Amino acid sequence: MRSNPHDYEMVAPNSLQATVSLLASEPGVWLPIAGGTDVMVQYAAGNLPARKLVSIWNLPELRRIETSADEIRIGAGSTYTDLRKNEIVAREFPLLATAARWTGGIANQNRGTIGGNIVNASPAADSLPALLAYEAELILVSIRGERRLPYVNFHTGYKKTLLRPDELIQTVCLPRRFSQYISHARKVGARSAQAISKVCIAALGRPTDGRVEDVRIALGSIAPVPLRLRQTEQAVIGRSIDSALLLLARKTAMAEVRPIDDIRSTARYRATVAGNLVVEFLGLLASDRNAVEHRQSNDVLGRWNLLPADEAATAILSCCGSKGWTRGMVARRPLADEDALLAASEETWRSLAPSDWMEAFHSHPRIGISRAPEPPSPQSPSTQSVAWSAQEQSNVGDANDAVKIALADANREYEQRFNRIFIVCATGKSASEILEILQRRLENDAETELREAAEQQRQITEIRLKKWLRR
């Protein structure tokens, strides 16, 4: 008689010692389950890799977050909500705090754990590039004791890790030496949350006098494992950030990644996006030449926190263009730092109605050359918005005439079809790439396209807020 794929047994020992003893008694037979957000998906699909589950959800040893002078030690059973609420994580490890915000919805963040994300070993997992960038180390535990290893060695192939069948991840250790670095995290997906990444980046850098003094660049969804781009890092360290370096960085990054085609995206698109994200990060380093300027960004925010509401609203309106977003941001003051500012922006944007999104869309000029009057719009873009758009679309001017004309034609078709201008986060993208995206999006139905445009606008707003902080 065949067994039912949905049959399983679950135990919940009340100590770490009892749990590792059970794992050791029958290695590979017992499957640890923490928040269950990956295991229960396997269960629902009838694909549980083991029928005997041992819950580690209530083990206090896995849930602690402790700090010493040198490092933060995050229990592997810490949830994304635990990470989001932790002040040291928010202040010193913004890449991880951002990844925690991106991971699924609130319910998922209340259950999903950092240890589960690591062991599930999806190349698209959101928190793993951050762990690479921060040079995390893992403490694994079994009845034989503890062993500590660099996280960078943990993934040995697609869904393969160095974890032995009788081991648990107990702690994720992050050194506290990157707090003065400039950090950049971006997830490119159909949406930023509740969608699997097509590509995501977590990068840290320290510029001095316009040169790259030190960098860490890690990407997800571009190889069988989350990848640190060592060759790209080596190519840019010590060099001035100019257009030659950006070209070199793009080329090296595109050659270094090993993406695949799948249902979410093509390998070519992923390699192109990887190159764009690296260029975008270096552009941020260039616009943030030294730590003094970085500190000044907090001064900008500090002053903004104290402005009367109407002045505060006017000061940031051109970052997004929507008055609803502006009101939401002003209401969320005071905001402690850049990370809090970006989190507030994302939260506000997600809470808005489509009519607010439309208002933001209307605040942009059309992308590329104009072969027709701009479509009717209730508002004209502000001078600041026009200047930012010009920077964001600066690569479009370098395109050949055929691409420019094709872009103008596709823009016209888009405007006729959707009755508004085409919105894309153009920073770091060539005219041909924008044209390709535009042609793909012309195939969207109205609802899908509205959401895609809204996600692009969210990304534009995020980049503009970072620039605004450093003006």
Ligand X SMILES: Cc1cc2nc3c(=O)[nH]c(=O)nc-3n(C[C@H](O)[C@H](O)[C@H](O)COP(=O)(O)OP(=O)(O)OC[C@H]3O[C@@H](n4cnc5c(N)ncnc54)[C@H](O)[C@@H]3O)c2cc1C
C-alpha radius of gyration, the chain, whole number = 23
* Nearer residue to ligand X within complex by CB, 131 or 235: 131
| Phi, psi angles (nearest 5°) of residue 32 | -65, 145
* Nearer residue to ligand X within complex by CB, 274 or 469: 274
DSSP-derived secondary structure for 137-158: EEEEEETTEEEEEEGGGTEEET
Which of the ranges 117-125, 233-241, 299-307, 357-365 carries the binding residues for ligand X, by CB under 6 A?
117-125
Three-state SS letters, 372-435:
CCCCCCCCCCCHHHHHHHHHHCHHHHHCCHHHHHHHHHHHHHHHHHHCCCCCCCCCCCCHHHHH
Q: Which residues of 309-319 are buried (b: 16+ CB within 10 A; e: fewer)?
A: eeebbebbbbb
Angle between helices 291-306 and 446-469 (to 10 degrees): 110
Measured CA to CA, the distance from residue 135 to residue 116 in angstroms comes to 19
> Residue 257 CB, nearest distance to ligand X (Å)?
18
Q: Indicate whether 102 belongs to the interface with ligand X (CB under 6 A).
A: yes
Q: Indicate whether 111 belongs to the interface with ligand X (CB under 6 A).
A: yes
Which of the ranges 37-45, 359-367, 379-387, 388-396 carries the binding residues for ligand X, by CB under 6 A?
37-45
* Nearer residue to ligand X within complex by CB, 121 or 254: 121
| Phi, psi angles (nearest 5°) of residue 403 | -70, -40
DSSP3 helix / strand / coil % (the chain, rounded to 5): 50, 15, 35
Instruction: Count CB-CB contacts under 10 A for residue 272.
Output: 20
Measured CA to CA, the distance from residue 451 to residue 448 in angstroms comes to 5
Which of the ranges 17-25, 113-121, 326-334, 448-456 carries the binding residues for ligand X, by CB under 6 A?
113-121
Among 22, 23, 34, 174, binds ligand X (CB under 6 A): 34
> Residue 16 CB, nearest distance to ligand X (Å)?
10
Q: Which residues of 82-111 are buried (b: 16+ CB within 10 A; e: fewer)?
A: bbbebebbbebbbbbbbbbbbbbeeebbeb
Q: Indicate whether 104 belongs to the interface with ligand X (CB under 6 A).
A: yes
Give, as ranges, the residues between 164 and 183 that touch ligand X (CB under 6 A): 168-169
Q: Indicate whether 117 belongs to the interface with ligand X (CB under 6 A).
A: yes
Which of the ranges 87-95, 105-113, 322-330, 331-339 carries the binding residues for ligand X, by CB under 6 A?
105-113
> Residue 193 CB, nearest distance to ligand X (Å)?
6
Give which of 100, 152, 106, 158 is closest to 126, Cα–Cα.
100
Q: Indicate whether 123 belongs to the interface with ligand X (CB under 6 A).
A: no
Give, as ranges, the residues between 55 and 74 that touch ligand X (CB under 6 A): 56, 62
Question: What 3-state class would DSSP assign to 67?
Answer: strand
Which of the ranges 114-122, 173-181, 262-270, 422-430 carries the binding residues for ligand X, by CB under 6 A?
114-122
Among 119, 136, 257, 426, binds ligand X (CB under 6 A): 119
Q: Indicate whether 112 belongs to the interface with ligand X (CB under 6 A).
A: yes
* Nearer residue to ligand X within complex by CB, 116 or 275: 116
CA 105 → CA 35, 81, 121, 455, distances in Å?
14, 11, 20, 16
Among 96, 125, 285, 335, binds ligand X (CB under 6 A): 125
Among 20, 23, 33, 320, binds ligand X (CB under 6 A): 33
Structure tokens at 348: 């506000």
Give which of 469, 381, 389, 376 is closest to 426, Cα–Cα.
389
Among 22, 23, 31, 188, binds ligand X (CB under 6 A): 31
Going by DSSP bridges, is the β-strand pair 160-161/137-142 parallel, antiparallel, or unpaired? Answer: unpaired
Q: Torsion angle, CA of 390/307/182/249, rounded to 10 degrees? A: 0
Which of the ranges 34-42, 245-253, 416-424, 432-440 carries the binding residues for ligand X, by CB under 6 A?
34-42
Which of the ranges 100-108, 142-150, 270-278, 413-421 carries the binding residues for ligand X, by CB under 6 A?
100-108
Instruction: Note whether 52 and 8 are within 8 A (CB).
Output: yes
Give which of 333, 327, 329 is closest to 302, Cα–Cα.
333
> Residue 159 CB, nearest distance to ligand X (Å)?
10
Q: Indicate whether 39 belongs to the interface with ligand X (CB under 6 A).
A: yes
> Residue 316 CB, nearest distance to ligand X (Å)?
27
Which of the ranges 97-105, 268-276, 292-300, 461-469 carries the binding residues for ligand X, by CB under 6 A?
97-105
* Nearer residue to ligand X within complex by CB, 191 or 327: 191
Among 78, 86, 98, 113, binds ligand X (CB under 6 A): 113
Give which of 437, 366, 442, 435 is closest to 402, Cα–Cα.
435
Instruction: Count CB-CB contacts under 10 A for residue 367.
Output: 25
Among 74, 76, 316, 342, binds ligand X (CB under 6 A): 76
Q: Which residue is nearest to ligand X (CB)?
A: 116
Q: Indicate whether 37 belongs to the interface with ligand X (CB under 6 A).
A: yes
> Residue 282 CB, nearest distance to ligand X (Å)?
25
Which of the ranges 14-22, 30-38, 154-162, 260-268 carries the binding residues for ligand X, by CB under 6 A?
30-38
Residues lying near ligand X in the complex (CB under 6 A) are found at 31-39, 41, 56, 62, 76, 102-104, 108, 111-113, 115-117, 119-120, 125-126, 168-169, 194
